[in-house]
Amino acid sequence: MKGLFITFEGIDGGGKTTQLALAAKWLREQGYEVVESREPGGTPLAERVRELVLDPSLPLTTTTQMLLYLAARSEHVDKLLRPSVEAGKIVLCDRFSDSTLVYQGLSQGKSLEELALLRNLCSFASAGMAPDLTLVFDGRPEVLVRRRAARGVSDRYELQGLDFQQALRKGFLALAEAEPERLQLIDAEGSQEQVAASVQQAISALLHGEK
């Protein structure tokens, strides 16, 4: 079969990482070959970049963060993502270009119309690679961030507070509204089982040509 590229997006605390692992297990049980990855990350070089950009002790500007993310993405696509899809595998990735558009674009006050340059840079870094399906885990930030805090997780973005998470949510919702064929909202406030069922339904539709 033709390989597929599916990305998991959304604000912090939405359960993307857990749901990606569950989706990978479910797909493997059906006989699919699955690759799990994340951004920034996925290769040794990109994982080093991840350590830099998520370290809250480093005073990185938004532009510096963006350029580091794009460098890591170029490496990630070249070394792992594209070869895996071309080999017929299903690639599940925790974040991709949509996060760049939201975190370094929309949440910083830019409108969808002002994202042209950032979109071009993302396309350049990924050599035109784009997801076949993007699942956006959505929910009220005050609920989702509380879950994340209960696990003792914090990074550069978590420390920016609830207002920033609200801006992120608004950005992801704007992208989903602009590209409803690719971006599908998943209610992240449900139980793990309910969210997993929604994820499986969305991926099944893609696998069976219903999207």
Beta-bridge mates of residue 137: 10, 186
pLDDT of residue 158: 58
pLDDT of 2? 83
User: How far, in Å, CA of 65 to CA of 115, rounded?
Assistant: 16
Dist CA 138 CA 186 (whole Å): 6
Radius of gyration in angstroms for the set of CA atoms belonging to the chain, rounded to a whole number: 16
pLDDT at 90: 98
pLDDT of residue 149: 60
Burial string for 18-40 (b: 16+ CB within 10 Å, else e) reads ebbebbbebbeeeebebbbbbbb
* pLDDT given at position 81: 98
Please give the DSSP secondary-structure letter assigned to residue 78.
Answer: I
Fold of 4-207: Rossmann fold (3.40.50)
Per-residue pLDDT of the chain (211 residues), as tens digits, is: 789 999 999 998 899 999 999 999 999 999 999 999 999 999 999 999 999 998 888 889 989 989 999 999 999 999 999 999 999 999 999 999 999 999 999 999 999 999 999 999 999 999 999 999 999 999 999 888 776 665 555 555 655 668 889 999 999 999 999 999 999 999 999 999 999 999 999 999 999 986 5
